[in-house]
Amino acid sequence: MRFDILTLFPEMFSSYFNESILKRAQDESLLDIHLHDIRKFSKNKHKKVDDTPYGGGAGMLMTPQPLYDCIVSVKKKNKGPVIFMTPQGSKLTHTRARRFARTNDSLILLCGRYEGIDQRIRDLLVDYELSIGDYVLTGGELPAMVFADAVSRFIPGVLGDDDSAEEDSFSRRLGGRKEYPHYTKPAKFKGLEVPEVLRSGNHAKIEKWRKKHLK
């Protein structure tokens, strides 16, 4: 799966994407992440990318020209849909993340800053708008990382055990419910013991216990 991420702050992504599972997935060519600095596309002599909103109001907006040129340039290499991360979008869920992973080989993620982006970019070039929750962050970079991570877990081979994404909270196998409690060694910690049934080796009983403890 290819991700092209359009942002004013490409450096923000390096530590997250260059560690652990997502790093290994890139090393194994399961994931291909390209970062694009929107500011580089600004035709303004000072590389300005924001301006005041028509109609007044607080804050600045990202101007359309750098965004338009950046998206058009990226679209030459990535034929996937353009997704704008915004609190006004549809809520990112397990089902949506899974669907994006199953139905696309590539995605383009657009990160807003300031009070957001000029509406004409949304009208002209954006295919989907996604929110990671009902709160407002300072930029779309964290939402893009959250989205890329959630989608990547559904790409075959990214997780050590391919089945794990299908057995986690919200999965069909758990009936859309949240996972049961987990325990590891030691069997006793700070006076709290791992439930006897989980140590019994009786898989039917363990399964029953886990089903009962779904949230």
Residues designated as active site: 87, 115, 153, 168
Minimum Å gap between C-beta 147 and ligand SAM is: 8
Binding footprint of ligand SAM on the chain (CB under 6 A): 85-88, 111-113, 115-116, 131-133, 135-140, 143
Q: Residue 197 is which amino acid? A: V
Find the distance separating the first CA and the last CA of the chain, reported in whole Å: 32
Partners of residue 4 on adjacent β-strands: 34, 108
Minimum Å gap between C-beta 173 and ligand SAM is: 28
Extract the tokens encoding 98.
């899974």
Give 19: exposed, middle or buried? Use CB within 10 Å, 0-12, 13-18, 19+: exposed
> Measured from the CB atom, is 80 or 87 closer to ligand SAM?
87
Give 40: exposed, middle or buried? Use CB within 10 Å, 0-12, 13-18, 19+: middle
> Measured from the CB atom, is 93 or 164 closer to ligand SAM?
93
Position of minimal CB gap to ligand SAM: 112
Minimum Å gap between C-beta 114 and ligand SAM is: 6
